[in-house]
Structure 1
Amino acid sequence: MKSLLHLSDTHFGTEVPAVVAALERMVLREAPEVVLLSGDITQRATRAQFRTARAFLDRLRLPWSVIPGNHDIPLLDLVTRMLRPYARYRQELGEASTHGLLDLPGLRLIRVKSTRRRRHIDGELSRRQIAEVSRALREAPSGVLRLVVTHQPVWVDRERDRHNRCHGADLALSRWRDAGADLLLAGHIHWPFVRRIAGDRPVWAVNAGTATSSRVRDGVPQSCNLLRWDPSRPRAGAELQRWDYLAGDDGFHPIETTRLQFD
């Protein structure tokens, strides 16, 4: 089995040291093929916070992949926000870290930048982005799992969170479903869930809660998701585990497993 660890909303600058340490222990034990961090890596996009985040990722000693969230663009430094919104992000995390493809045995991951310098919180997907992702989905090798990750979600499971969906979400969901998407990963709302979206073919929405921040919501502790799949038959052998930080044990533990069906 292969595995991918999905983290989100670490919000370095508000991290809880004990939770960070527990997450590092969990990663060491589980040894996923890659760690995916779906945005809001920092709280206020400062150089110090990005450096702390980079140090955390380097300590994992595993391949990692990231996309920016709305908190990863300077909020109060308006000049930098307008002229060089991702300068600090790219300086610490790499020039090609805002979007792109990642292929693993039995899996294709498509990273999409849903943040915009002109939007404070909301995400947006342009028609060009939607078309490019659709093409990447259709060009994926036959039989692999096809994942798309954004920061702001394309689909949510609670009516109260609908306003947090990306602008352009309905078109993206329709086009990406037609193009063969299997899982839509996101964060942003600090609410973890995995749900099969109703429609003519199975598509799963997977949201991660905050991984390390004190900014927990709705009584849900820090959490992350671990996707496991069989590379020899990925569409028949995939499951999603949610892991929560349990303060009494000072560790992350699996609390829910969902068997993912794609046919």
Structure 2
Amino acid sequence: MTLLLQVSDTHFGTERPAVVDALVRLAHSQSPNVVVLSGDVTQRARAPQFAAAKAFIERLRVPRALVLPGNHDIPLFNLAARLFAPYANHRRVFGDNLEPEFESNDMLVVTVNTTRRLRHENGVVSSRQIDRVARRLEHASREQVRVVVTHQPVAVTKPEDRKNLLVNHRAAIQAWAEAGADVVLGGHIHLPFIVPLHRRYEGLSHTMWAVQAGSAVSSRLRRGAGNSVNLIRPGESVNGRRTICVERWDYDEPAKRFVCESTEELNAYDTRPAPLLQ
């Protein structure tokens, strides 16, 4: 079974060395097949911060890394760079493909660059991106868990986070569900949670989940949420669709290690009530 490590909002430049070391140890003990960095890899998109991020990924020793830009990965104060070469430092370290993919026998991961050089925080998914992802999902096999990754969230659980919702998220959810998406991974708001999108939006063709990751290694923590990451793996096949196991691992300050905080099995027959926030 493929094991995916979801790491988000590392904000290198504000990283906590003890937490970085603990996450490296977690990766070595769990041996994921792929690591997904769902945006805000750096704090200010500076070359040394990207270099630190690359060194971190190399230390993980994971066979494949998908690194997605976040709004912090575009220069903020260098206006010329922001306008004319917003991803120059990112590309120099992680390559030209800003929307990398991963595929195995039981998992397909498609990423979407939702950042825009003229937007400081809010993300956008365009109609072209929605269609591209849908076409890719439609070609997945029945045995594959179909995962989409954005930086900004497609669902939130707190009223104050509504302003952070991905622009055009409703159209994206509808199209991706129709194309067979199972999970949408995201970050940006530094808060880990799982939302059953099929209970929130009417007309979705099947169960579909939003899985958010907290801040992985940064000191930029949200009140009530420490450093955390997710481990995601396909489960058993039920009537042609796999269940999905999501483990949330939180950093334990006294023990200086990541511990499994919760395990949820997402399946095709969810009957839980929808979260109150719409």
Q: Name the TM-score, length of structure 1 as normaliser.
A: 0.96
Aligned partner of 1:222 among 216, 227, 243 = 227
In structure 2, runs of 5+ residues without a counterpart are 270-278
Q: Is the CA contact 2:9–2:38 (under 8 Å) kept in the aligned structure 1?
A: yes
Q: Which residue of 2 aligns with 1:55?
A: 55
User: Which of 235, 246, 256 is matched with 1:240 structurally?
Assistant: 246
- 1:100 deviates by 3.3
* Structure 2 CA distance for aligned equivalents of residues 176 and 73 of structure 1: 27
2:122 aligned with 1:117: no
- The answer to whether the 8 Å contact 1:242/1:254 transfers is yes
SS in 1 for 2:132: helix
Question: Residue in 1 aligned with 2:255?
Answer: 249
- Superposed, 1:72-111 pairs within 5 Å as 72-96=73-97, 98-111=98-111
Structure 1's unaligned 5+ residue stretches are none
Q: Which amino acid aligns with 1:69?
A: G
Alignment-mate amino acid for residue 246 of structure 2:
L
Deviations 1:79-121 (A, max 9, x none): 000000000000011122x103211221111110000000000
Residue 159 of structure 1 and its aligned partner are, at CA, apart by: 2.4
C-alpha distance in structure 2 between counterparts of 1:190 and 1:231, whole Å: 30
What does the per-residue CA deviation read over 1:17-39, in whole Å, with 9 as the maximum and x for residues that have no partner? 00000000010000011111000
Q: CA deviation at 1:262?
A: 2.0
CA distance in structure 2 between the aligned counterparts of 1:237 and 1:174, rounded to whole angstroms: 21
> Could you tell me how far apart the structure 1 residues matched to 2:167 and 2:81 are?
24
Who is 2:273 aligned against? none
TM-score, scaled to structure 2: 0.91
1:102-155 deviation line (CA, Å, top 9, x unaligned): 112211111100000000000001111111111111111223111100000112
* Match in the other structure for 2:160: 160
Amino acid at match of 1:219: G
Give the stretch that moved more between structures: 83-92 or 163-172. 163-172
C-alpha displacement at 1:231, in angstroms? 8.0
1:137 maps to which residue?
Answer: 137
Q: Equivalent residue of 2:249, what SS?
A: strand
Matches within 5 A, 1:143-182: 143-182=143-182
Q: 1:11 corresponds to which residue?
A: 11
In the alignment, is the contact (CA less than 8 A) between 2:75 and 2:81 conserved in 1?
yes
Find the residue that maps to 1:85 and give its secondary structure: coil
Number of residue pairs the alignment of both structures matches: 262
- Counterpart for residue 22 of structure 1: 22
Q: 2:265 aligns with which of 237, 241, 259?
A: 259
Secondary structure at the aligned position of 2:233 is classed as strand
Distance 2:143 2:12 in 1: 37
Q: Is the 8 A contact 2:45 2:75 kept in 1?
A: yes
Counterpart CA distance in 2 for 1:158 and 1:105 is 36
Please state how far the C-alpha of 1:196 moved relative to its aligned partner: 1.2
- For residue 232 of structure 1, report the CA deviation from its aligned partner: 7.1
For residue 76 of structure 1, report the CA deviation from its aligned partner. 0.2
Q: Secondary structure at the match of 1:2?
A: coil
Whether contact under 8 Å (1:2, 1:230) holds in the other structure is: no
Residue 216 (structure 2) pairs with residue 211 (structure 1)? yes
